[in-house]
């Protein structure tokens, strides 16, 4: 039972264009959603998060959008840079709940072409 799903295993975009990574979830108890970035042989690095009470959070080139009714979130990167090439994981948790564990999607490999 996969509670967080990333249906696109990979995405390729041109440098300077927008990258859009998508994520769907099934558990309505999730109240915080996060995006992590992972380079090979490194641990995941936190990128940006959004609370379930918001529908948008922006940090520089990165914006996360949350559509609670659709149980869908997306990460927009604009403009995309070659250094953004990495695996991106969507994650969620029931932060205020009794069980505090982060649930991850399977990841999307982003390749930004120079």
Partner 1 sequence: GAGVSQTPSNKVTEKGKYVELRCDPISGHTALYWYRQSLGQGPEFLIYFQGTGAADDSGLPNDRFFAVRPEGSVSTLKIQRTERGDSAVYLCASRGTMNTEAFFGQGTRLTVV
Give the nearer residue to partner 1 in terms of CB position, either 65 or 104. 104
Closer residue to partner 1 (CB): 41 or 70: 41
- C-beta of 29: minimal distance to partner 1 in Å? 15
Please name the residues in contact with 33: beta carbons below 8 A apart, sequence gap of 6 or more.
23, 25, 49, 50, 52, 64, 66, 73, 90, 91, 92
* d(C-alpha 55, C-alpha 67), whole Å: 6
Total Cβ atoms within 10 A of residue 43: 7
Q: CB of 87: closest distance to partner 1 in angstroms? A: 9
For residue 20, give the nearest of 74, 68, 72 by alpha carbon. 74
Q: Which is nearer to partner 1, 14 or 26 (CB)?
A: 26
- Closest by alpha carbon to 108, among 21, 14, 19, 13? 21
Binding footprint of partner 1 on the chain (CB under 8 A): 4, 6, 9, 32, 34, 36, 41-46, 49, 51, 89, 91, 95, 99-107
> Which of 8, 79 has the CB closer to partner 1?
8
CB of 46 to partner 1, least distance (A): 4
């Amino acid at each position: 039972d996969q509670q967080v799903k990333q249906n696109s295993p990979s995405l390729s975009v041109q440098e300077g264009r927008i990258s859009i990574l998508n994520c769907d979830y099934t558990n309505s108890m999730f109240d915080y959603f996060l995006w992590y970035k992972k380079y090979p042989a490194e641990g995941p690095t936190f990128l940006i998060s959004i609370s379930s009470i918001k529908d948008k959070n922006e940090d520089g080139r990165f914006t996360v959008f949350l559509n609670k009714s659709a149980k869908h979130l997306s990460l927009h990167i604009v403009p995309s840079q070659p250094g953004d090439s990495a695996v991106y994981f969507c994650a969620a948790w029931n932060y205020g709940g009794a069980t505090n564990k982060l649930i991850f999607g399977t990841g999307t490999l982003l390749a930004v072409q120079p």
